[in-house]
Structure formats: structure tokens, C-alpha cells
């Protein structure tokens, strides 16, 4: 089994998401975000592609050199 990436240390001074979830199925989105939250990752969840694109254009990465991981549904509405 491959080692899991370590989440940011608690109390880190950034609120830049480490993972972005774009999923329109509520049950699958809940499963994904539950797992991320349980492991201490900062994440954003979007219900459709348009919502994600509109907000992602505005995200301030605060100089982060590593982009967030994108978990993307392959058949998104509103794209």
C-alpha cells in the first residue's frame, strides 16, 4: 500500500484548500468529504462544474507552490 500524504499540521496559518472535491452525487460527496475531514485535510466541495470554476478563479493561493488535489466527477452537470 502506498503511503498516504500527510495533511497540513493543525493550526497552520493558511486556509488554502489542500483538496477540491467536485461531485454532484450527495452520497458520494458526503463519503469523500467525511474521509478528508477525518484525516484533517482542508477541502472545498462544489456540486457542479460551473460553481467550481467560478469560485476557483477567485481562490487566493497565498503563494502556495503546490496546487490542491482535484477530485473531479467525470460527468458533471453545468459545464
pLDDT digits (tens, 9 = 90+) for 15-46: 678 899 999 999 999 999 999 999 999 999 99
Domain-embedded: residue 78? no
Residue 46, in any domain of the structure: yes
pLDDT of residue 69: 86
30: containing domain: 24-72
User: Total structural domains in the chain?
Assistant: 1
**Which cell numbers in the block locate residue 7?**
495533511
State phi, psi for 49 to the nearest 5 degrees: -65, -40
More confident residue, 49 or 63: 49
Do the Cβ atoms of 8 and 18 come closer than 8 Å?
Answer: yes
Q: Is residue 53 part of a domain?
A: yes
Residue 29 lies in a domain: yes
pTM for the model stands at 0.69
Amino acid at each position: 500500500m502506498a503511503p498516504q500524504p500527510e495533511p497540513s499540521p493543525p493550526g497552520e496559518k493558511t486556509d488554502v484548500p489542500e483538496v477540491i472535491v467536485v461531485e454532484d452525487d450527495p452520497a458520494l460527496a458526503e463519503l469523500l468529504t467525511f474521509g478528508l475531514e477525518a484525516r484533517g485535510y482542508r477541502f472545498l466541495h462544489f456540486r457542479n462544474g460551473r460553481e467550481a470554476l467560478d469560485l476557483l478563479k477567485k481562490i487566493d493561493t497565498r503563494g502556495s507552490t503546490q496546487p490542491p488535489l482535484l477530485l473531479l466527477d467525470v460527468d458533471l452537470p453545468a459545464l
